[in-house]
Amino acid sequence: MSFKEQLKGRDLLTLADYSKAEIAYLLGLATKIKKKRKNGEVYQPLKGKTLGMIFEKSSTRTRVSFEAGIYQLGGTGLFLSSNDIQIGRGEPISDTAKVLSGYLDGIMIRTFSQKDVEDLAENATIPVINGLTDDYHPCQVLADLQTIKEKKGELEGLKLAYIGDGNNMAHSLMIGCAKMGIDVAIAAPDGYQPKGEITEHAKSFADGSEVLITDDPIEAVKNADVIYSDVWASMGQEQEQKLREKAFAMYQVNTELFSHAHDDAIFMHCLPAHRGEEVTTEIIDGPQSVVFEEAENRLHAQKALMVALMG
């Protein structure tokens, strides 16, 4: 069975559900789709298809990249906030899934609970894409892997160091890197490290690569090819901002910390970024930063995902 046949109609709940070969296929497809756009080619394999986009969490990159992406592929995107549909007024997710399956060709949902995404997928008869939950952010990591491959020429054998909160980005980076043969080191203070069960799950995919959890950012960054950061207080944690600023004070990505990585290391961030907090201006706006190319690749990686699942 070809990858095209394997992936058609599938959900993307986490990258744990995809094999190394399937992820590699998506990255290759993303590269081809990106090249077509750069060359000005019209590529519309999803003409007549409709993607419903459920947002219970606001977004810049997720909304614009999915909405622009489905349009560029010839389809239509429908923005559905929790204020617009009955799921925000107590309708069971199972009912919403069944109703939307009769109208749409795919659903992307950006929400809080991973279980809500899983329940939606279980009851839908069309592909469901996890646009972000409190536990996972698989679409971002597809774009991240695409960016790393563009900059480094390969994935296997590299090392990525993530500095900051052990959140959905840390979880998905651990899984994605372990799947693709990248060593990954997560540096976070006690009380803010990734969930133990997700860490163990990620380690189960590491075939020759290493998944390290530490409270020492220098240990994590040593000999890294990629340094990655995220905000210290994610959406919904704003009330913890001052507490987190104190807890993460030693976890800022700055010139001194960067000096422990390889000389040609690149800096990545899923954005939005708080300059002067998790990363200094010198790093994020410096020559080794690829954050805006990474952000653009959300468009190309997600177009590949939609083509593969909805085509």
User: Helix, strand, or coil here: 80?
Assistant: strand
In terms of domains, do 78 and 188 share one? no
**Residue 146 is a catalytic residue:** no
Q: Which of 72, 140, 252, 302 is catalytic?
A: 140
pLDDT (tens place) for every residue of the chain, 311 residues total? 899 999 999 999 999 999 999 999 999 999 999 999 999 999 999 999 999 999 999 899 999 999 999 999 999 999 999 888 887 678 899 999 999 999 999 999 999 999 999 999 999 999 999 999 999 999 999 999 999 999 999 999 999 999 999 999 999 999 999 999 999 999 999 999 999 999 999 999 998 999 999 999 999 999 999 999 999 987 667 778 889 999 999 999 999 999 999 999 999 999 999 999 999 999 999 999 999 999 999 999 999 999 999 99
140 tagged catalytic = yes
Phi, psi of 99 (to 5 degrees): -65, -50
Spatial contact of 177 and 233, defined as CB atoms under 8 Å apart: no
45 and 126 both lie in a single domain:
yes
Which residue has tokens 């109609």?
A: 9
Whether 118 and 162 share a structural domain = no
Give 155's DSSP letter.
-
Q: Is 235 annotated as a binding residue?
A: yes
Q: Which of 11, 165, 270, 300 is catalytic?
A: 270
Of 157, 174, 272, the C-alpha closest to 214 is 174
Catalytic residue selected from 10, 137, 171, 269: 137
199 lies in the same domain as 253: yes
Could you confirm whether 244 is annotated as catalytic?
no
Q: What average pLDDT does the chain have?
A: 96
Find out whether 8 and 311 touch, Cβ atoms under 8 Å.
yes
H-assigned helices in 131-208: 138-152, 168-179, 196-203
User: Are 123 and 163 members of one domain?
Assistant: no
- Mark whether 77 and 174 lie in a shared domain: no
Nearest to 172 by CA among 289, 301, 307: 301
Would you say 183 and 210 are in contact if contact means Cβ atoms under 8 Å apart? Answer: yes
How many helices and strands, by DSSP H and E, does the chain display? 13, 9
Are the CB atoms for 168 and 133 separated by under 8 Å? yes
The answer on 284 and 148 residing in a single domain is yes
Q: Are residues 152 and 111 in the same domain?
A: no
Q: Which CATH number do you get for residue 39?
A: 3.40.50.1370
Give the integer Cα–Cα distance in Å for 210 and 60. Answer: 33
Residues 18 and 305 sit within 8 Å (Cβ to Cβ): no
Question: Rounded distance, CA 282 to CA 267, Å?
Answer: 11
Q: How far is CA 107 from CA 63, 99, 117, 146, in A?
A: 13, 12, 10, 23
At residue 246, φ and ψ (nearest 5 deg) are -70, -45
Say which amino acid occupies 4. Answer: K
171 and 100 within one domain: no
Six-digit token pair at 143? 């774009």
Distance, first Cα to last Cα, the chain: 16
For this structure, is 252 an active site residue? no
Q: Annotated binding residue at 204?
A: no
Percent of the chain with pLDDT over 70: 99
User: Is 262 part of the annotated catalytic residue set?
Assistant: no
CB-CB contact of 263 with 204 (8 Å): no
- Looking at the fold, whether 32 and 153 belong to one and the same domain comes out as no
Annotated ligand binding at 177? The verdict is no
The range of the structural domain enclosing residue 123 comes to: 3-137+297-310
Active-site hit among 10, 244, 298, 300: 298
Domain identity same for 36 and 128: yes
Q: Is 138 annotated as a binding residue?
A: yes
Instruction: Please tell me whether 168 is known to bind a ligand.
Output: yes
300 catalytically annotated = no
Same domain, 159 and 95: no
Q: Is 300 a known ligand-binding residue?
A: no
**Predicted local distance difference test score (pLDDT) of residue 235:** 67
* Structural domain count, the chain: 2
> Which of the residues 10, 110, 171, 300 is marked catalytic?
110
Q: What secondary structure letter does DSSP report for 195?
A: P
Pinpoint the alpha helices (H) of 14-83: 20-38, 61-72
- Residue 134 near residue 165, CB atoms below 8 Å: no
Q: Check whether 137 is labelled as a binding-site residue.
A: yes
- Strand order, beta sheet including 106-110: 76-81, 50-55, 106-110, 128-132
CA angle, 129 then 44 then 16, to 5°: 25
d(CA 60, CA 89): 24
